[in-house]
Structure 1
Amino acid sequence: MAYSSSLDRDDATSFSWASTRTAVEQDPSLLSWGSGSQPSVPSIDDDAQTETRSISGSIRSSTMSIDSRYFLPNDPAEQERLDLQHQLFTIAIGNKLNITPFAEDPRRVLDIATGTGIWAIEFAVQHPGSQVVGTDLSPIQPQFLPENCTFEIDDAEDEWAFSEPFDFIHGRALMSCFNDPASVVRQAFASLAPGGVMEFQDALFPMSYVGDPPTGSALYRWNELMVEGVARLGRSWSNVKNYRRYFEEAGFEDIVEKRFYWPTSPWAKGLYFKLVATYFQEDMLAGIEGMSLKVLGGLGMSTEQVRGFVEEVKRDLRDTNVHAYLTVTYIYGRKPGRTSRR
């Protein structure tokens, strides 16, 4: 089921995307993680607050002032969190939407489980030569779109029936979306044109720690309980460790996988990690109660017990003595053959 909310051509001059796109202004040094092509595991900053004071005010203002262009039909707080999370995924890789390199704009692009549609919209703006389609179970995307961006109501676990193949397929934060993620990867492979590329960006739970895991902390217990609870619901928060295998088994070649690390607070050394941590902490604080009520409730905890527990977890997320971080994988692979531009 397809729908398009893009502006009519005659109205295009009355709406400027350049003036409404979310932008995060920052010193380039904030995104410097050293000589490698990706950050190494973060190290502990003995004075965790010193560098943080210079960026926390402006970053917090940015995270809590998400672009108001959306006209969302339900749960605006959750939609705002998802847009904040979008900023986190892009800032972590240097204010980019993807790590896949392109010599030219891919002709047809698919964004599965697009959510608010912010990735698809920004990709369409940055790649005017692309036609971008976003799919999701819910029609929560904005009304005003670039002319080269549309959305469809679709379930990526159903049989894919697109009329034309894609040159680039993108999926993000899919870790527990699917009953059979390997099947989704296979369908995506079949829906790519020869030479087409797919990129997934996703988190790996449970969290990791620098030094001995704080097994007595609420955050550690929360990670363990959430992984168990999600498993009881028939899903997994650890699918990311299998992504490379899924790609290989589907037939992808030239697979590139990079891992990035998101500290839970500014305990990590370096402005890059402090910037990422500020966004990740805001994301977690905003979303942890909702996800915990659903998952931990399935383990037999009452609403009051979950909420009390969540407050303890939030304290750990703010505590710079808890040296926790989340591993996030960005992976892409190419379908054999050569893309033909039409």
Structure 2
Amino acid sequence: MAGNQTLDPGPVSSSGDTDSTLGSDIESSTISLRESVFGFVEENGRRYHSFNEGKYVLPNDEEEQGRLDLQHHLFMLTFGALHIAPLPSSLHNVLDIGTGTGLWAIEFAQDYPMARVLGSDLSPIQPEFVPPNCTFEVSDAEEPWTYTQKFDYIHGRALLSCFRDPAQIIHKSFSALSPYGILEMQDPQMPIACLDSSMDGRPLSVWTHEVCRAAALLGRPVTNSQYYGKWMREAGFVDIVERHFYWPLNTWPRGKKEKLIGMWAQQNLLDGVQAMSMAILTRGLKWSREEVEVLLAGVRDDLRNHAVHSYVDVVVFYGRKPGPDERPSG
């Protein structure tokens, strides 16, 4: 009829075609999301996380997972416990930041069966079979925290290379804690130290300072653990405690326990020195893989040399969130 407009829809797809196309789009998006979370990236012969790719400079392959479990044993040998901070037996919610293979979270869940333990990490490398009160999530601690529950205890260990702004993580932890809740940070300090001048000019000395320089250029300094106490005070924590432990890097000390710790610390670094170096030095200083390997050969020789009296200072800071009836110290 004159004046009426007709709409030419063009070629019409059957409803089955539309559903099929939509289903393919959803499936493709799901695969892409799954790959971003559960996929991995290969670089210089090592495997790295793909979720928020490039943030963490250590690999997550099986070799590194084995080293992380060895390092857990080293921490346990050093501390004699999973935590240094005194904790109440009535814990409800616990968060382990940067849980890695999840071994700490699993053992903590076993020791505190009434607590709900959550481990978070960029890499989904935790075991499938865990205690019923232990769960893991793939998440980025540098992004906004969306937890609906408050935590009674937040734990972070060996996070020195993880964050661009560790002070922000400490402030987030303060906000996520219940009143009277505790934050504990356990970290090796860089650069590596020496009892005397026996490390001067050696590859180990070159390595520790070049790694520090490269990490700073990448915007993720590995020298921040010394400031944890300061940042805790600024966030509002009270009753802050600082303790130091030492890892000799081979069996050069005299004491029996010191030699044992030194043996494990030496193996930890021998197993991990490539993981700790490859991405940092190739990305930060633009070294070639071959240049890195040449330096690491000398580093390994120094780690086996009992005349080199090197050690790592391991620092632990813990503090408490004040209750509503308390005023944070200035």
TM-score range, shorter chain: 0.7 to 0.9
- Structure 1 partner of 2:197: 212
Describe how 1:1-342 pairs up with structure 2 within 5 A.
Answer: 75-94=61-80, 96-212=81-197, 214-297=199-282, 298-337=284-323
What is the one-letter code of the residue matched to 2:126?
Q
- Report the secondary structure of 1:280's partner residue: helix
How large is the Cα RMSD of the aligned pairs?
A: 1.4
- Report the secondary structure of 2:119's partner residue: strand
- Report the secondary structure of 1:278's partner residue: helix
Deviations 1:156-191 (A, max 9, x none): 111111111000000011112111111110010000
Following superposition, the deviation at residue 213 of structure 1 comes to 5.3
- Report the secondary structure of 1:92's partner residue: helix
Deviations 1:111-132 (A, max 9, x none): 0110111100000001111110
Instruction: Pick closer, same or farther for the CA change 1:105–1:317 going to 2, 3 Å.
Output: farther
Deviations 1:131-176 (A, max 9, x none): 1011111111101010110111111111111111000000011112
CA contact (8 A) 2:64 2:275 kept: no
What is the one-letter code of the residue matched to 2:229?
R
CA contact (8 A) 1:213 1:220 kept: no
CA distance in 1: counterparts of 2:156 and 2:258, whole angstroms: 24
CA distance in 2: counterparts of 1:324 and 1:338, whole angstroms: 46
CA distance in 1: counterparts of 2:261 and 2:243, whole angstroms: 16
Following superposition, the deviation at residue 291 of structure 1 comes to 2.4
CA contact (8 A) 2:187 2:315 kept: yes
What is the one-letter code of the residue matched to 1:162?
Y
- Structure 2 partner of 1:62: none
Following superposition, the deviation at residue 225 of structure 1 comes to 0.9
Deviations 1:196-235 (A, max 9, x none): 0010100110011112253221111111111111111111
- Structure 2 partner of 1:49: none
Following superposition, the deviation at residue 338 of structure 1 comes to 7.3
CA distance in 2: counterparts of 1:100 and 1:207, whole angstroms: 25
CA distance in 1: counterparts of 2:299 and 2:91, whole angstroms: 43
What is the one-letter code of the residue matched to 2:202?
S
Look at both structures and tell me which one has the larger radius of gyration over its CA atoms: 2
Q: Identity of aligned pairs, percent? A: 46
What is the one-letter code of the residue matched to 2:87?
F
Runs of at least 4 residues of structure 1 off by over 3 A? Answer: none
CA distance in 2: counterparts of 1:114 and 1:328, whole angstroms: 18
- Report the secondary structure of 1:168's partner residue: strand
CA distance in 2: counterparts of 1:102 and 1:196, whole angstroms: 9
Which one scores higher on RCO, CA 8 angstroms, separation ≥ 6? 1
Structure 2 residue runs without a partner (length 5+) = 1-59, 326-330
- Report the secondary structure of 1:254's partner residue: strand
- Structure 2 partner of 1:18: none
- Structure 2 partner of 1:15: none
- Report the secondary structure of 1:134's partner residue: strand
Deviations 1:253-273 (A, max 9, x none): 001110001001101121111
- Report the secondary structure of 1:311's partner residue: helix
User: Structure 1 length as normaliser, TM-score?
Assistant: 0.75
Structure 1 residue runs without a partner (length 5+) = 1-73
CA contact (8 A) 1:157 1:184 kept: yes
- Structure 1 partner of 2:40: none
Following superposition, the deviation at residue 103 of structure 1 comes to 3.4
